[in-house]
Amino acid sequence: MKTRIRHYLEVLSTAIWMVPLAFLIGSIILAFLNFYLDKTLIARHVQFPDFFLYFNDSENIRTMLSVSGSSILGVAGVSFSITIASLTLASQQFGSRLLRNFMMDRFNQVVLGIFIGTFLYCIMMLQFTSSMDLNKTTPIISMVGLLILVITSLLMLVFFIHHIAVSIQADTVIADVNGTLQAQSAKLFPEEWSEKKHLPDTPPADLQADLFNTDASPMKVRGSGYLQGVDHERLIKLVNDKDIAIKLTVKPGDFLIKNSVIGYCLASDAQKEDFENEIVGPVNDRLLVGSKATAEQDPEFPVRQLVEVAVRALSPGINDPFTAITCIDRLGDNIAFLINREFPSDHHFDEEGRLRLLTKPFTFEGIVEASFNQIRQHGRNDVSVTIHLLDTLLCLAHQASSDEQAKAINTQVNALYSTSNENFNAQKDRDDIKAKYKAINQCLEKRFKLDGA
C-alpha cells in the first residue's frame, strides 16, 4: 500500500495543475472570508482615514476589480507563453524526457497559481460587491486583500522571469537532475553499515534458486508499458500466504511487452490448475506499469537523463563538449557515492529461511555502464571528453573497494583506450591517454585481481 501511495504522490508531483488548483480553491475561500469580515466587522459609522474613503465609491471598486482582473489575466497569459517557450527550448536542447523536471518545478506552479488565483478573486469580489449594501458597508478588507494580491503578482512576475532565465541554463538543468539522482541513490541504496533486512545467502538458498530453472512455471504480464515499481511488501505477503516462490526477471525501468515473461513461479500442482487467476493475476496487480519510465524505484532513470543531456551536447548540431564534461562530473560523483553504499539483496526469505522472492537486482556494473557507455560511444572523436572520462575513472579507481567495482571501472577504461587508438591520430593526445590508462591500471592492479591482469 505504501508503494502505491508513493506512486500516486509521484504522479501528482508531476502534474502542473495541482498547485494552481489549490490556489484557485484558496482564492474562493479568501474572497468569501473577506466578504464575511467586511459585512460583519466593518460598519459604515466607523471612522476611517481619508485614504479609505476611496473604497466608498462603488464605481471605483468595480473599476479596480475589473482592471486588476483583466491585467492579471494578461500577465498569466504571458507567463504561460514564457513557460511553453522555455519547455520547447529545453526539449530541443536537453531532450523531451527532461520536461518532467520542469513540470515538477514548484516555483513555476506557485507563480501560475498566484496569477489565476488573483484573477478568480477579482471575479468573486465583483459578484459580492453587486449585492453589497455600500451605504452600510465599506469593503476595506476585501480591497486591501486585492492590493496585496496584485502587488504580490507583479513581484512574482519579475521573479518568474529571472527563474526561467536561470532554469534553462545547462548547469542548472544538470544540477537539478543530479539532485534527483542523489536523492534516489540515498533512498534506494542504504548505508554500508546498515543492518541486513534479509537473511544472508546460504547453499540451501542457492539450491532453491536452481529450482526456478527446472520446475517453475512462467508468468506473463497482462499489459504493456514501463515497469515503474514493484510493491514488494504486498508481493512478499502474497508468496507467504500462498506458500509459493517467485523469481522476477524484470526490474523497474524495463519495458514490458504484453504477454512477455516477467518471471517464474514455484507452485503446487493444485495451484497450477488455476494458475492465471490464483497467481499470475495477483502478481500483475503488484506491478506498477505505466506509459513512461519514472525514478520511483529506478536509480538509472536520472542517470539516463544526464546521459541524454551529454549525448545531445556531443551531437554535431550542438557540439558542446563542456556540457558533456559537466554531466560526466555529476555521474562520476554519483558513482563515487554508490561505492560506499549497500546494494539491496535480490534474495527475500521468510522467517524460516526459505527463499520466497528472487528479484532482478540493480548492480554497480550496470549503473557504471548506464552512466558511461553512450557518452563513450558518442564522444569517441572528442579528445577532451575521452580524457575527462579517464580522469573520472582514475578518481573512481582510487576509491574502489571491491572486485566488482574494480572490474566495472577496468572494463570502461579498456574500452576507452581501444577506441582512442582507433580515432585519435595526434601523438600527444595518444600519449596523454596512454599515461592515464597506465595510471588507472596500476591503481587497480595493486589492490584487485583483474581478469587478464
Of the chain, the end-to-end C-alpha distance in Å amounts to 49
| pLDDT score, position 52 | 53
Q: How far apart are CA 189 and CA 45, in angstroms?
A: 68
Residues in the chain: 453
Return the bridge partners of 263, or none. 219, 248
Residue 283 near residue 357 (C-beta atoms within 8 A): no
Q: How far apart are CA 142 and CA 125, in angstroms?
A: 8
Q: How far apart are CA 191 and CA 179, in angstroms?
A: 18
Q: Tell how strand 261-266 and strand 217-220 pair up.
A: antiparallel
| pLDDT score, position 27 | 93
Q: Tell how strand 245-248 and strand 217-220 pair up.
A: unpaired
Return the bridge partners of 347, or none. 358
| pLDDT score, position 225 | 93
Instruction: Encode pLDDT of 281-300 as tens digits.
Output: 999 999 999 888 888 888 89
**Grid coordinates in use for 174?**
544538470
Q: What is the pTM of this model?
A: 0.79
Residue 277 near residue 218 (C-beta atoms within 8 A): no
Q: How far apart are CA 307 and CA 196, in angstroms?
A: 32
Q: Would you list the domain boundaries of the chain?
A: 2-168, 203-290, 298-342+361-445
Phi and psi, residue 350, nearest 5°? -90, -175
Q: How far apart are CA 433 and CA 102, in angstroms?
A: 38
CA-nearest of 17, 161, 179 to 103 is 17
| pLDDT score, position 46 | 52
Q: Please state, as a whole number, how many other Cβ atoms lie within 10 Å of the Cβ of residue 266.
A: 20
pLDDT string in tens for the chain (453-residue length): 566 676 666 666 667 788 889 999 999 999 999 888 877 776 544 555 555 555 566 777 888 888 898 899 888 888 878 877 777 777 777 776 676 777 778 888 899 899 999 999 999 888 877 666 555 566 778 888 998 999 999 999 999 888 888 888 888 888 888 888 888 888 888 775 444 444 444 444 555 667 777 778 899 999 899 999 898 888 988 998 888 889 999 999 999 999 999 999 988 888 888 888 889 999 999 999 988 888 888 889 989 989 999 999 998 888 889 999 999 999 999 999 999 888 888 888 877 778 888 888 899 999 999 999 999 999 888 889 999 999 999 999 999 988 889 999 999 999 988 887 777 777 888 888 889 999 999 999 888 877 654
Q: Please state, as a whole number, how many other Cβ atoms lie within 10 Å of the Cβ of residue 131.
A: 7
Phi and psi, residue 116, nearest 5°? -75, -25
Q: How far apart are CA 379 and CA 399, in angstroms?
A: 25
Q: Give Cβ neighbours of residue 301 (< 8 Å, ≥ 6 apart).
A: 184, 253, 293, 294, 295
Please determine, looking at this structure, whether the domain spanning 203-290 carries the CATH number 3.40.47.10.
no
- The SS3 assignment for 391 reads helix
The CA-atom distances, in angstroms, between 119 and each of 19, 55, 70, 159, 418 are 15, 19, 7, 19, 63
Q: How far apart are CA 360 and CA 346, in angstroms?
A: 6
Helices (H), 290-363: 300-313, 321-339
The CA-atom distances, in angstroms, between 176 and each of 98, 101, 167, 180, 425 are 10, 8, 9, 7, 38
The CA-atom distances, in angstroms, between 378 and each of 264, 368, 428 are 38, 16, 22
